[in-house]
Homo-oligomer: A and B are copies of this chain.
């Protein structure tokens, strides 16, 4: 083997100090905090649905016992420039294709409903250390016209909008969403 030392170095994954420990959910929360603080949008994560079975009071704190319910909608919702946003964050471990099993049946139904009522629905996909906005319409078209159980990465690369990292916020997805919105406004 030629230059084994160099080859080894080339295969070493670079350490991204800034993003270390920041998973997709944290990146979205950071962005939403930034949008709220800078009065750009109001977007928040929906609380996990808990069916409360018992409440115990200790001072001012209310302790809950309950059962976790399945989410039938997406994780994030909010308002931006008058538009209703409804989206979810999904990370794919596979480097070649995004498994559709990551999206529940109820979530597909919800995305279709939101689109029918002129809301903006999408997924933020993390794949191969890159981030993409997969539009609800593009997703539903793929699902309805395909037998495949996963979306090939090449399809994502050519049909999604990429979110490139920035300093503040790191994952400035609204900046990318603006392209979708201007397309939407052209149609109307």
Contacts and interface: CB of A to CB of B under 8 A. Distances in A.
Contact of A118 (B52, B73, B79): B79
Given A62-B67, A65-B64, A116-B39, A47 B44 contact: no
A49 interface: yes
Interface in A20-41: 36, 39, 41
A114 interface: yes
A153 B67 CA distance: 41
Copies in the complex: 2
A138 interface: no
A82 B46 contact: no
A117 B67 contact: no
A79 B39 contact: no
Interface in A116-150: 116-119
A114 B79 contact: yes
A84 to B, nearest CB: 4
Contacts of A36: 113
29 contacts: A36-B113, A39-B113, A39-B116, A41-B117, A42-B113, A42-B114, A42-B119, A46-B46, A46-B47, A47-B47, A47-B48, A50-B64, A50-B66, A61-B68, A62-B67, A62-B68, A63-B65, A63-B67, A63-B68, A64-B66, A64-B68, A66-B66, A79-B84, A79-B118, A79-B119, A81-B117, A82-B117, A82-B118, A84-B84
